[in-house]
Structure 1
Amino acid sequence: MSDHRWRRHAGKPPWWPEGETWPPEGRMGPQAWRGMRGRFMWRIGCFFLLMTVIFLSVVALLGWLIDKAIGAAPMILIGLVALLVLAMIGRAIRNTAAPVGDLIEASGRVEEGDFSTRVPEAGPGEVRALARAFNAMSARLEEAEQQRRSSLADVSHELRQPLTVIQGNIEALLDGVYPADAAHLEPILAETRILERLIDDLRTLTLAEAGSLVLHREPTDLAALLNEVTTSYRSQADQAGIIMNVTVPNDLPTIHIDPARIREVVANLLTNALRHTPRDGTVEISTQLANDEAIVTIRDTGPGIPREQLDRVFDRFYRSPDSPGSGLGLPIAKSLVEAHAGTMMATSGVGAGTTIRFSLPHGSAVEPRLGTRRTDLDADQRRRIP
């Protein structure tokens, strides 16, 4: 049974846009699709009947001519051959028409929202290829629907946590449990900022995944950008007792990117690296050119990620049990890089640390500027943080 029972409701769903007709124009119900299949099979049957009549007429005419020429004996053989040919034609038509009819009916179920629909891969090669494509389409639709439902549940959960804190604190203030002073109002303000950041992250991720994110590209000194971001995290590394190194080649070209978005990517990756790196550990940031691509690598000496979790680190809302984040940081970073036509990948192992690497394609590169500066941290920045 389809999980999309709302499609069978008489009234339009509450989320349906105002002013839009319900059901959508052009939508047909399952009865209409079954009727369409019936009409298709009826037409195929009529075609077969017509071809049979024509074929028998030709055979009869040919038999009459042969009978006139050489006698009636060959007529038996001709009749048997005619029956065999008719059987072969009927079988071929049935083998083609039945799978196509299944596809027609299955299309109606998909339109009704039953994305679990599959059809047998039967019939001639072309029909089997069509059935495979239909099944692949249905599988992707089903997966997308599952992701949508999962995302809605995750968003509800993430929004509920700060809202619960806000509601509890406000009720306590109204009931006189706490005085309405700065000490008790500041946590409420902090939770509203968490909500605001979560909503902004969701909006960025949604726009990036939909290909609608506007990038303000400009020639950017990637070396300077990396130096700026890493310097801003120096205090955090100092407090955590972590060594932070950055190495950028002298010939790194200026690249045409959205500096604010790439800065957000690097900041996100550095936040994760510092969060999971223990005291006396190391976080290394390096950049290299390969095949006209600028490749940025951030490597830490943290505990690493188990293999079963590594494949999910870029999934929405996925986070390890000991992670305090929302689970949106890495998906957003990956989506922002892909919006620049780049790629991002993660490699890790338990006890081996984690390496995140992303590339900006050669299409983002422009001519190097004179005086492009190296962004290796100076001796004071590269010193071991006590």
Structure 2
Amino acid sequence: MTDRRRGRRGGPWARGSSAGDRRPPWWPEDEAWPPPERARRWRRFGCFFGLFFLAGVLGLLTIGLSVVGYLLAAPGPFGLVVRIAAVVVAVGLVIGVGRAARAIRGSSRVLDALVDQAARVETGDYSARVTIDRPAPRPVRDLARGFNTMAARLEADERLRRDLLADVTHELRTPLAVVQGSVEAILDGVHPADDVHLGAILEETRVLARLVDDLRTVAQSESGSLSLHREPTDLGVLVGDVATSFSAAVESAGVELASAVHDDVPLLDIDPIRIREVIANLVANALRHTPSGGLIEISARPIPGDGDGHPVAAVDLRVRDTGSGIDPELLPHVFERFARGARSNGSGLGLSIARGLIELHGGTITAAAPSAGGTEIAIRLPIGPEPRTSD
């Protein structure tokens, strides 16, 4: 008996299976696996069941042959009809047995592949896939498709985890090196422990704190575990609050900040804190890349509905600036984590956070580089026929 067959009969913990000779994690360490008494019990049950099944089949076959022989010997037209029916039934049985054998072979191949590929997934190889055999029954094909979907998601999650770990390591290294170097310089007497040098260390710790908070927000939004506290919100008031909070910064930078919210924009069932965070992120990005004398504009207008009781389908919210714009090669990846241009000094997480928060609201966010220059971020927030309940 091959290892593959033993693995199919005994499962991934069977002795000699493709997944290895190992016991279940809950089995006591000081007891043998599989238990000898269980194997003996199954052998006795298998022998008894096999004999009973064989006797039943032989009995039914004897009765069937007797009835068929009696009917085939019948004279006249009735006997002819019976013989023709017997031939038809025999041909049908042959075809049915052939199709059943084909389905069994297909199922066996798929199940063998499932056992082998599951062993690969168990060892951490998430690229394992099962080839779906067409003759296999639909439930077996559905099982194989479900396995492939699971393996693909595991592979994507593992790739995401590795990328996140590499990105976090890279982003934390610089502020930590600055803090370490400054503290060592103070301890060695190279720099005095005055407000200037201690203030630089404090600023780097704030950078680290912001980075950790941003990473947590990104992780929660991507995993869907970030809860939203929705309430009817006036988008015009929200945009005005953001503009007011940036008034001192834009005045200092010599940049004009304008806002224009259409009067027909209805109340939105959103999380005002999260949407305000998105708008503030976009304005902060625009301010970093807009030179003195430039313009940052926040606008919002309703998007007409289908006219079937829904006069407004969504709200179009845009943040546009006249700054340096986004590099064309970076534009398709601008919403990815840690994506940033050569001239950017941010963490590269602001747009990734914005995308996650907007998608949690059921909306979309896109970036464009207008021909006139600068950058334009467009957000589409849907409006349902009835206000949604808070999460």
Give the TM-score of the pair, scaled to structure 2.
0.69
1:293–1:361 Cα contact (<8 Å) kept: yes
The one of 97, 101, 122 aligned to 1:90: 101
1:164 to 169, 172, 177: 177
Alignment of 1:189-204 (within 5 A): 189-204=202-217
Cα distance change of structure 1 residues 56 and 216 upon mapping to structure 2, 3 Å threshold = same
Confirm or deny that 1:185 pairs with 2:195. no
CA, structure 1 residues 214+96, in 2 after alignment: closer, same or farther (shift >3 Å)? Answer: closer
Q: Which residue of 1 aligns with 2:367?
A: 346
C-alpha distance in structure 2 between counterparts of 1:57 and 1:308, whole Å: 79
Distance 1:65 1:106, change over 3 A: farther
Note the alpha carbon deviations across 1:18-77, whole angstroms, 9 max, x for none.
Answer: xxxxx9769xxxx99xxxxxx9xx9xxx9xx97998997788657745775689xx9xx8
Q: Given the alignment of the two structures, is residue 225 of structure 1 paired with residue 238 of structure 2, yes or no?
A: yes
Q: Distance in 2 between matches of 1:170 and 1:364?
A: 58
- Asked whether the 8 Å contact 2:261–2:300 carries over to 1, the reply is yes
**Residue 308 (structure 1) shift:** 4.3
Per the TM alignment, residue 216 of structure 1 is displaced from its structure 2 partner at its CA by 4.1
99, 105, 128: which one aligns with 2:110 = 99
After superposition, give the CA deviation of every residue in 1:319-375 in whole Å (9 maximum; x if it has no partner).
Answer: 222221111111112222233333322233677432212233325987xxxxxxxxx
Structure possessing the higher radius of gyration over alpha carbons: 2
Contact 2:327–2:341, Cα closer than 8 Å, also in 1: no
Equivalent positions of 1:317-332 (< 5 A) are 317-332=338-353
Instruction: Work out the CA distance in 1 between the residues paired with 2:294 and 2:102.
Output: 72
Matched, 1:337 2:371: no
Residue 266 of structure 1 and its aligned partner are, at CA, apart by: 0.7
Whether 1:258 and 2:271 are equivalent positions in the alignment is yes
TM-score normalised by L of structure 1? 0.70
**Number of equivalenced pairs:** 325
1:122 equivalent in alignment to 2:133: yes
The structure-2 alpha-carbon separation of the partners of 1:306 and 1:192, relative to structure 1 and needing over 3 Å to count, comes to closer
Alignment of 1:1-386 (within 5 A): 64-65=69-70, 68=73, 86-123=97-134, 124=136, 126=138, 127-290=140-303, 291-306=312-327, 308-348=329-369, 352-363=373-384
Q: Which amino acid aligns with 1:102?
A: A
Q: Which amino acid aligns with 1:207?
A: Q
The one-letter code sitting in structure 2 at the alignment partner of 1:361 is P
Deviation at 1:226, TM superposition (A): 0.8
Change (3 A) 1:351 1:223: closer
SS at match of 1:115: coil
- Larger deviation, residues 235-244 vs 281-290: 235-244
* Alpha carbons 1:307, 1:349 under 8 Å: kept: no
In structure 1, distance between residues paired with 2:316 and 2:223: 25
AA matched with 2:262? P
SS of residue matched to 2:333? coil
Q: How far apart in 2 are the matches of 1:105 and 1:59? A: 43
- For the structure 1 residues 232 and 87, does the alpha-carbon distance in structure 2 shift closer, same or farther, using more than 3 Å as the test? closer
Contact 2:370 2:376 in 1 (8 A): no
| Contact 2:318–2:376, Cα closer than 8 Å, also in 1 | yes
Q: Distance in 2 between matches of 1:174 and 1:318?
A: 36
Structure 1: gaps (5+ residues):
1-22, 33-38, 367-386
Distance 1:219 1:85 in 2: 64
Of 257-266 and 146-155, more deviation after overlay is shown by 257-266
Kindly provide the amino acid, as one letter, of the partner of residue 220 in structure 1: T
Displacement, 1:176? 1.1
Q: Give 1:269 deviation, angstroms.
A: 0.4
| Superposition CA RMSD, Å | 3.9
Counterpart in the other structure of 2:6 = none
- Structure 1 contact 281–300 (Cα < 8 Å) conserved: yes
Q: Is 1:347–1:354's contact at 8 Å kept on the other side of the alignment? A: yes
Counterpart of 2:366 in 1: which secondary structure? Answer: strand
Structure 2 residue ranges without an equivalent (≥5): 1-23, 28-32, 35-41, 304-311
8 Å CA contact 2:314, 2:382 repeated in 1? yes
The 2-side partners of 1:55 and 1:102 are apart by 36
Given that residues 313 and 319 in structure 1 are in contact (C-alpha distance below 8 angstroms), is that contact kept between their aligned partners in structure 2?
Answer: yes
Looking at structure 2, the residues matched to 52 and 229 of structure 1 have their Cα atoms a distance apart, in angstroms, of: 82
Write the letter of the residue equivalent to 1:282: L
The answer to whether the Cα contact below 8 Å between 2:264 and 2:301 also exists between their aligned partners in 1 is no
The C-alpha deviation readout for 1:225-259, integer Å capped at 9, x for no partner, is 21221233244334444443211122333334333
State the match for 2:5 in structure 1.
Answer: none
Question: In 1, are the aligned partners of 2:330 and 2:339 still within 8 Å (CA)?
Answer: no
The verdict on how the C-alpha distance between 1:97 and 1:209 changes in structure 2, with shifts beyond 3 A counting, is same
Shift of 1:270: 0.7
Deviation at 1:206, TM superposition (A): 2.4
Percent of pairs with identical residues? 46
User: Structure 2 CA distance, aligned partners of 1:92 and 1:59?
Assistant: 26
- Answer yes or no: is the 8 Å Cα contact 1:247–1:286 preserved in 2: yes
The answer to which structure, 1 or 2, has the higher relative contact order (CA under 8 A, 6+ apart) is 1
3-state secondary structure, aligned to 1:178: coil
Matches of 1:203 and 1:364, distance apart in 2: 33
